[in-house]
Amino acid sequence: MTVNEKLALLRQEMEKNGLDAYIVPSADPHLSEYVPEHYQFRRWLSGFTGSAGTVAVTKDRSGLWTDGRYYIQAENQLSGSEITLFRAYDPGVKSYVQFLCDELPEGAKVGINGKLFSQSSVNDMNKKFGEKKLILDSSHDLSVIWQDRPPIPDGKIILHDEKWCGESASGKIARVREEMSKLGLTHYAVGKLDCIMWLCNIRGSDIHCCPFALSYLLVGPGGVRLYIDPAKVGENERYALEQQGVGLYEYGKIYGDIAALGEDCTLGMDFGINNSALAAAAQKCSLKHIRDIVTPFKAVKNKTENQNLVECYENDAVALVKGFYYIYDCLGGGRTITELDVCEKLLELRAQQPYNMGPSFETIAAYKGNAAMMHYSPTPENNAVLKAEGMLLIDSGGHYLNGSTDITRTLVLGPITEEERRNFTLVLKSGIALISAKFLKGTSGANLDILAREPLWKEGIDYKCGTGHGVGFYLNVHEGPQNLSQSLRSTPFEPGMNVTVEPGVYIEGKYGIRTENDVVVVPWKTTEHGEFYGFGLLSFVPVDVNGIDPALLTDEEIDWINRYHFECRKRLMPRLTKEEQDWLTRYTREVRR
């Protein structure tokens, strides 16, 4: 069935339900970044496979809104369909809400599935639609037109031991209750899956590359209720949860339980991360919008977690270096190797590392022009053969019981242009500048983001995305609230928070370059001017010196990369074969002018 035929089916369903427009987001009821196949309705409808995007459909027009990571991909995948691409973050581009306000007459009805939108976004839509006298109806799930829809996932949960995470579930719940008391709450609702997994010290397998189980959580004076399909929970896991004060209830029962809360109850939830149907269920109790309680707790890794992360990142680096050696050995030996081969090899090598639990996201192995698409992943239909020329960008990561990783390196496979060498070096300079920063307590990513952009801005170059994001501990590979971006809503850094540093250059149709390292915020010094912090490196994966133009580096930057490679060799050499050791020695040879 073509995209246009699917849109025709949707419009028939819209007409049955008296709707003039319908909005389809990339979401599940937990507003997850990556969603189970069962909830990939937007992808099925539009043919666009990127992880972020929203489709809006009227009786005679349709559009897809996505961000700068996916412009090239979306343009290609929407070709031949009626759907218009709206480059959501470009200046002057109207939002899908404004598009509908402009397209629809007064009194028109816009339908959504309220379980797939946050309460904050519904509030915003109601305000803007109300100004145009449009009606928003959040009671419509039109995914019924999807006949061959995959089933709801049914993976089992596992317990995440305290030796990895450093704190019991009961201890975490006690901290939540303290915060609830300060906020005047009798109840606290959580729909965000990584928060639930963290709080209960469990992990699941319902979402590809995300160790989550579909569930909700309600903390009340009578105990903690975990709403989950009982088939997902074994007897040992059930007993362990009950010992920590967590009772088990049917997955969908939370809506009725919230509706049953009386006038003497005050329910708190973060309207930005919980679906609007949860908020709508609170009919009798007082409902209070709060900043989520668990998120800031989870973002600051404790001593045990940070100690485990050191080993986690070293294990991951061993897998990557072995993978890099394999790539160069194939090219040097005249053996055919493709982007997909690289993905499969890294998956195999990570699986050999201690405590590995699978990939933390779909590996990006992008050769030459494919790397200009920031979130490109090879497929059997689009899978480049590598040659001993140009550059290969590899962005990959792993989940382990002792942490999660996210690392990008750009490999120089053979001759490159002077422009490519210059930009490779500028990206390296950008990363070094930010990783080396010292900053005052209270500083956020919005204050520091420019340090990475300045070397590129001096050459009139920019990248259309943030510079970095938090990484969960065997949880989401993209974790907040901390990040490195130009957003003024960025959260101040605290010791124990980790974040990626990943500047890049992307030239459409030609190449992409990204060098990404993971760092943790550490105390630096306290003076009469206050507390100062810095970044401690977690990633020790070599940077390809064949891409560096030493003339563009300062003495301090040359010293930084040489010291970094010394540390890489020190940590990794004992776990490599003789051939791999010899290769790594050449690969990390000293950079000189």
pLDDT digits (tens, 9 = 90+) for 236-270: 999 999 999 999 999 999 999 999 999 999 999 99
Task: Please report which helix (H) or strand (E) contains residue 215, including its range.
Answer: strand 215-220
Q: Are residues 508 and 445 in the same domain?
A: yes
User: Side by side, which strands form the sheet with 438-440?
Assistant: 438-440, 530-537, 517-527, 498-501
Q: Are residues 135 and 172 in the same domain?
A: no
- On whether residue 152 sits in a domain, the answer given is no
Q: In the listed set 279, 298, 317, which residue is the last one of a domain according to the structure?
A: 298
* Residue 273 binned pLDDT confidence (cut-offs 50, 70, 90): very high
- On whether residue 378 sits in a domain, the answer given is yes
User: What average pLDDT does the structure give for the chain?
Assistant: 96
3-state secondary structure of 543: coil
- On whether residue 592 sits in a domain, the answer given is no
Sign of the alpha-carbon torsion through 403, 408, 412, 413? positive
Q: Quick one: pLDDT at residue 201?
A: 98
Q: Are residues 131 and 199 in the same domain?
A: no
Q: Are residues 373 and 443 in the same domain?
A: yes
pLDDT digits (tens, 9 = 90+) for 528-538: 999 999 999 99
Distance CA 224, CA 524 (A): 39
3-state secondary structure of 334: coil
How far is CA 375 from each of CA 110, 363, 366, 370, rounded to the nearest angstrom? 31, 9, 9, 9
Query: Which CATH number belongs to the domain containing residue 280 in this structure?
Result: 3.40.350.10
- On whether residue 505 sits in a domain, the answer given is yes
Tokens standing for residue 256: 């009725």
Tokens standing for residue 527: 């003076």
577 pLDDT above the threshold of 90: yes
Q: How far is CA 259 from the centre of its chain?
A: 32
Share of the chain above pLDDT 90, in %: 95
Task: List b or e across 132-166, with b for residues whose CB sees 16 or more CB atoms inside 10 angstroms.
Answer: bebbbebebebbebbeeeeeebebebbbbeeebbb
pLDDT digits (tens, 9 = 90+) for 112-143: 999 999 999 999 999 999 999 999 999 999 99
> Of 79-88, 390-399, 485-494, which range is least confident?
485-494
- On whether residue 272 sits in a domain, the answer given is yes
Q: Quick one: pLDDT at residue 593?
A: 86
* Residue 489 binned pLDDT confidence (cut-offs 50, 70, 90): confident
* Residue 465 binned pLDDT confidence (cut-offs 50, 70, 90): confident
Specify which residues 469 forms β-bridges with: 483
Q: Quick one: pLDDT at residue 83?
A: 97
Q: Are residues 367 and 339 in the same domain?
A: yes
Q: Are residues 243 and 385 in the same domain?
A: no
- On whether residue 150 sits in a domain, the answer given is no
Q: Are residues 403 and 264 in the same domain?
A: no
Tokens standing for residue 204: 């699941």
Q: Are residues 325 and 214 in the same domain?
A: no
Query: Against a cut of 0.85, is the pTM above it?
Result: yes
Q: What is the DSSP string of 438-478?
A: EEETT-BHHHHHHHHHHHHHTTT---SS-SEEE--SSS-SS
Distance CA 55, CA 61 (A): 11
Tokens standing for residue 517: 């390292």
Q: What is the DSSP string of 234-282?
A: -HHHHHHHHHTTEEEE-GGGHHHHHHT--TT-EEEE-TTTSBHHHHHH-
Q: In the listed set 229, 264, 298, which residue is the last one of a domain according to the structure?
A: 298
* pLDDT (mean) for 548-553: 98
Amino acid at 25: P
* Residue 110 binned pLDDT confidence (cut-offs 50, 70, 90): very high
- On whether residue 153 sits in a domain, the answer given is no
Amino acid at 556: E
* pLDDT (mean) for 155-177: 98
* Residue 328 binned pLDDT confidence (cut-offs 50, 70, 90): very high
Q: Are residues 305 and 291 in the same domain?
A: no
Peptide bond into 91 cis (omega under 30): no
- Count Cβ atoms below 10 Å from residue 216 Cβ, excluding itself: 27
Query: Which CATH number belongs to the domain containing residue 522 in this structure?
Result: 3.90.230.10
Q: Are residues 471 and 379 in the same domain?
A: yes
Q: Are residues 249 and 211 in the same domain?
A: yes
Q: In the listed set 119, 145, 171, which residue is the last one of a domain according to the structure?
A: 145
Residue among 89, 106, 100 at smallest CA distance from 124: 100
Q: Quick one: pLDDT at residue 72?
A: 85
| Residue 172 belongs to domain spanning | 158-298
- On whether residue 195 sits in a domain, the answer given is yes
Q: How far is CA 514 from the centre of its chain?
A: 17
pLDDT digits (tens, 9 = 90+) for 373-426: 877 889 998 899 999 999 999 999 999 999 999 999 999 999 999 999 999 999
pLDDT digits (tens, 9 = 90+) for 188-214: 999 999 999 999 999 999 999 999 999
Share of the chain above pLDDT 70, in %: 100
Q: Quick one: pLDDT at residue 179?
A: 98
Q: Quick one: pLDDT at residue 68?
A: 80
Q: Quick one: pLDDT at residue 227?
A: 98
Number of domains making up the chain: 3
* pLDDT (mean) for 298-307: 98
Angle between helix axes 303-332 and 555-572 (nearest 10 degrees) is 90
Q: Are residues 405 and 319 in the same domain?
A: yes
